[in-house]
Chain A
């Protein structure tokens, strides 16, 4: 007779707007032993056509393959017709109408039918649309399959559905959005589920990194402002350290609105500025210029790199930007520009 054992791992999942990640640790029953290390799961995913790689971040993108793409085979499913992860993100640049990005932002959109099959918006006829809830479910499903492949390997006791899972949600998510997130998790098969607000999770992580020193930094009565500047969103929350049953406890006392503005917007703005300058210069030189979609994306990435360089190095006055053309002739078609601190 086997006794049903409890979960062996405690798992934290961050279902982010642009990236998803999973961290886990063995559950240590004996508090006198040192805490087991926290590991981040390297998630196997398609990173290019026919190429699988394990990465710690799983981009939250869903690409519906066309028949011309061929089967999108993963180690655990040879005939998959959709892609989740890095390759989905890359294909999203090539074929934007077939990819779902930022499904999480749709989850808290107040005016759409969040359970309705609305994504991707503007998809062609042959694409079977799915709801934001289903998209979130698909990302969780990929994580579960990856866990099965890497950790559980067929052992039913170790399956992710049996582990103790903590799923983070933005503090600014309303009740409906939290409900939908839970729905997606249950659909994926996760039963032992706890929702945790992202700023609190970040704060716990910060405390964890401090080790035993944290008591010197946080006392009862302190209020901590947690600022989360992501790619597409920014969240401000205030967490207070209070006393509960004689012990220090953390409570989120205030949260700002879910701001759909983040690092990516800065990059877009900088890219726009540089593009206008390039067009103006080209016009003045008598050779009018027009950027295509890939060059704009390239420019965004280059603007981000330039931004990081200028913000990271106080002495730098300008950063070069180079955008390649699309064909195989690289040298002749690369466009040059510069991002300066002044403009």
Chain B
């Protein structure tokens, strides 16, 4: 298969169903599909394009299956929601960010910031091992390896010329060396970051 990703069985079942009717009632589409290069691996874009309602003059009698988008890959947002829930639970993170701080004095914000800092720091440290990308002190001159790892180092200022580069370290950077998130129990709604509390 030239396409590295592959559709799941349920997706293929639905896809086969849709393709059957399209080929039966849409000559152009059938011809396109019949050509040798298309028969190899239908790219995902084609799969998504299929359910869009085509001009219905070709098959008005036959009820077209109603367009249902092929479900995207397993949502990677669950882990992000979990992290937000964790930071809210341990550090009142969402409460803090959602509040309008413009009208408060620095001292008030500072007091709240202590609570958030203490809680979130504990939560992060329990789940993520953070390390700086560069271990040198900020403000010192550093010589960077050649070739540069663009993912972990960015150049600012007089960005020109060829490596190896020497410059002043302005920010050490952060890298997550290890991360372990808790497991959500099946049936738990990840979108609820914090339950509403009602005191009886």
Q: Which residues of A contact B (CB under 8 A)?
A: 46-53, 73-75, 78, 94, 305, 320, 322-324, 326, 328-332, 334-336
* Distance A328 CA – B11 CA, assembled complex (angstroms): 43
| Contact pick for A330, options B115, B118, B184, CB 8 Å | B115
What is the CB-to-nearest-CB distance from B141 to chain A, in angstroms, rounded to a whole number? 33
A-B contact pairs, 5 of them (CB 8 A): A50-B189, A322-B115, A328-B95, A329-B99, A331-B112
The secondary structure that dominates the B interface is: helix
- A73–B186 contact, CB under 8 A? yes
What is the CB-to-nearest-CB distance from B103 to chain A, in angstroms, rounded to a whole number? 9
Q: Which residues of B contact A (CB under 8 A)?
A: 82, 85, 89, 92, 95-96, 98-99, 101, 104, 107-109, 111-112, 114-116, 118, 182-189, 195, 197
- A330–B107 contact, CB under 8 A? no
* Distance A47 CA – B188 CA, assembled complex (angstroms): 13
- B115–A334 contact, CB under 8 A? yes
Q: Which B residues lie within 8 Å of A47 (CB)?
A: 182
Q: Which B residues lie within 8 Å of A74 (CB)?
A: 185
What is the CB-to-nearest-CB distance from B97 to chain A, in angstroms, rounded to a whole number? 9
Q: Which B residues lie within 8 Å of A53 (CB)?
A: 182-183
- B111–A329 contact, CB under 8 A? no
Closest to B82 in A: A51
- A52–B185 contact, CB under 8 A? yes
| Contact pick for A331, options B104, B182, B188, CB 8 Å | B104
- A322–B185 contact, CB under 8 A? no
- A335–B111 contact, CB under 8 A? yes
Closest to B188 in A: A50
Q: A48 and B92 in contact (CB under 8 A), knowing A73-B187, A305-B118, A331-B101?
A: no
* Distance A320 CA – B195 CA, assembled complex (angstroms): 29
- B187–A331 contact, CB under 8 A? no
Q: Which A residues lie within 8 Å of B104 (CB)?
A: 331-332
| Contact pick for A322, options B98, B99, B111, B197, CB 8 Å | B111
* Distance A78 CA – B187 CA, assembled complex (angstroms): 10
What is the CB-to-nearest-CB distance from A45 to chain B, in angstroms, rounded to a whole number? 10
* Distance A74 CA – B115 CA, assembled complex (angstroms): 31
- B112–A52 contact, CB under 8 A? no
Q: A330 and B188 in contact (CB under 8 A), knowing A52-B182, A53-B183?
A: no
- B99–A320 contact, CB under 8 A? no
- A331–B108 contact, CB under 8 A? yes
* Distance A140 CA – B195 CA, assembled complex (angstroms): 30
* Distance A305 CA – B119 CA, assembled complex (angstroms): 12
* Distance A332 CA – B105 CA, assembled complex (angstroms): 10
Q: A52 and B183 in contact (CB under 8 A), knowing A330-B92, A331-B101?
A: yes
Q: Which A residues lie within 8 Å of B85 (CB)?
A: 48, 51
What is the CB-to-nearest-CB distance from A224 to chain B, in angstroms, rounded to a whole number? 35
- B89–A48 contact, CB under 8 A? yes
- B182–A322 contact, CB under 8 A? no
- B111–A51 contact, CB under 8 A? no
* Distance A48 CA – B109 CA, assembled complex (angstroms): 28
